[in-house]
């Protein structure tokens, strides 16, 4: 079990590196690059600091921007795209997601759930995958957990209608809300990378173990990952519990509130 999850992380971390170095070579990926300068995971031995170190440098976005789109499909620097163009590309991405058949989750979904919110948000919330309500509506985090999440955001002046964007690791519902399988997270990952590049969030909030482990690149419990700030591709990332977990375990409320204050402190500094 444990090995399998570690293997999944390894695959995804290689994916992140590939993306930063020149975009995914995947049929459903579009050549936009992350607008920032360094990649995911913290070093394994740095504990206790408020900000953990990134995995390593990637080429400056400007170098790639100068090259534009080459025959090899080098990605464009997303920061050079104007807001209207980024919105246009997000709609186009949503259309690709809606029609996507790149993993077996497409067979059981009712509606794919690409994501929703504003561009250039203060925070991009990243969950695990759609549940029953999301599968029925095509919108992320609209069920009970989603309404609870909206309250957390509201407590620090954030809202998906005003200054936040919400997305998931996988865009189609895993049957019976099981964890996404490695092949599914991996197949869907290029969409999330494109979204981050086009949305350009100031911070990232990962909710739950699955999204936190994948984006932090560390196979630890959410309880030990949370409580500090990481960097994902140069973007400050705060991990916390999943709202559905907190609904089941009121003991997680206090740590979540601490994490929301941590997020707020980054936004106001």
Task: Choose which of 23, 75, 121, 129 interacts with ligand URA (CB under 6 A).
Answer: 129
Positions in 78-117 near ligand SF4 (CB under 6 A): 97, 100-103, 105-106, 112
- Residue list 39-78, contact with ligand URA (CB under 6 A): none
43, burial (CB in 10 Å: exposed 0-12, middle 13-18, buried 19+):
exposed
Q: Which is nearer to ligand URA, 38 or 111 (CB)?
A: 111
SS3 of 116, please? strand
Q: Least distance to ligand URA from the beta carbon of 130, Å?
A: 5
SS3 (DSSP) at 100: coil
**Contact window for ligand URA (CB under 6 A) among 22-30, 60-68, 129-137, 232-240:** 129-137
Query: What is the Cβ-side half-sphere exposure of residue 184, based on CA atoms within 13 angstroms?
Result: 20
CA 49 to chain CA centroid, Å, is 23
Q: Which helix (H) or strand (E) holds 147?
A: helix 144-155
The C-alpha atoms of residue 156 and residue 203 are separated, in whole angstroms, by 13
Q: How far is the CB of 218 from ligand SF4 (least distance, A)?
A: 23
Binding track, positions 145-174, relative to ligand SF4; x by CB under 6 A: -------------------------xxx--
Binding partner at 172 among ligand URA, ligand SF4, none, C-beta below 5 to 8 Å by kind:
ligand SF4
Under 8 Å CB-to-CB from 67, ≥6 apart: which residues? 74
Q: What is the CA radius of gyration of the chain?
A: 17
CB of 107 to ligand SF4, least distance (A): 8
User: Which residues does residue 168 pair with via DSSP β-bridges, in sequence order?
Assistant: 127
Contacts of ligand SF4 in 171-230 (CB under 6 A): 171-172, 184, 187-188
Tokens of 200: 């350009």
Region of 8-16, 125-133, 185-193, 248-256 interacting with ligand URA (CB under 6 A): 125-133
> Tokens standing for 181?
């399988």
Question: Which positions from 141 to 170 touch ligand URA by CB under 6 A, shown as an x/- string?
Answer: x---xx---------------------x--
* Collapsed DSSP state (helix, strand, coil) of residue 190: helix
Contact 193, 21 (CB under 8 A): no
Considering only residues 168 to 197 of the shown chain, the ones binding ligand URA according to CB under 6 A are 168
Residue 258: count of CB within 10 angstroms of its CB: 13
Neighbours of 183 (CB within 10 A): 14
**Interface with ligand URA includes 134 (CB under 6 A)?**
yes
134 binds, among ligand SF4, ligand URA, none (CB under 5 to 8 A by kind): ligand URA
**Residues forming the site for ligand URA (CB under 6 A):** 127-131, 134, 140-141, 145-146, 168
**Residues forming the site for ligand SF4 (CB under 6 A):** 97, 100-103, 105-106, 112, 170-172, 184, 187-188
């Amino acid at each position: 079990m444990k090995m399998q999850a570690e293997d999944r992380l390894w695959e995804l971390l290689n994916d992140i590196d590939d993306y930063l170095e020149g975009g995914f070579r995947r049929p459903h990926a579009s050549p936009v690059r992350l607008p920032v300068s360094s990649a995911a995971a913290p070093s394994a031995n740095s504990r206790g600091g408020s900000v953990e170190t990134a995995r390593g440098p990637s080429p400056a976005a400007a170098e790639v921007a100068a090259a534009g789109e080459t025959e090899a499909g080098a990605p464009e620097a997303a920061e050079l795209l104007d807001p209207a163009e980024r919105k246009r590309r997000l709609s186009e991405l949503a259309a690709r997601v809606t029609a996507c058949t790149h993993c077996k989750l497409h067979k059981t979904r009712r509606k794919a759930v690409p994501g929703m919110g504003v561009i250039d948000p203060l925070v991009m919330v990243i969950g695990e995958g759609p549940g029953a309500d999301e599968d029925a509506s095509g919108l992320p985090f609209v069920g009970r957990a989603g309404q609870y999440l909206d309250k957390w955001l509201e407590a620090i002046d954030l809202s998906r209608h005003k200054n936040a964007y919400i997305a998931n690791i996988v865009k189609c519902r895993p049957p019976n809300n099981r964890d996404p399988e490695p092949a599914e997270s991996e197949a869907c990952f290029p969409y999330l990378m494109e979204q981050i590049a086009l949305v350009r969030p100031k911070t990232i909030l990962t909710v739950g173990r699955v999204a936190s482990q994948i984006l932090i690149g560390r196979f630890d419990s959410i309880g030990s990952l949370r409580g500090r700030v990481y960097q994902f591709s140069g973007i400050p990332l705060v991990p916390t519990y999943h709202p559905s977990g907190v609904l089941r375990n009121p003991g997680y409320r206090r740590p979540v509130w601490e994490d929301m204050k941590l997020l707020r402190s980054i936004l106001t500094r």
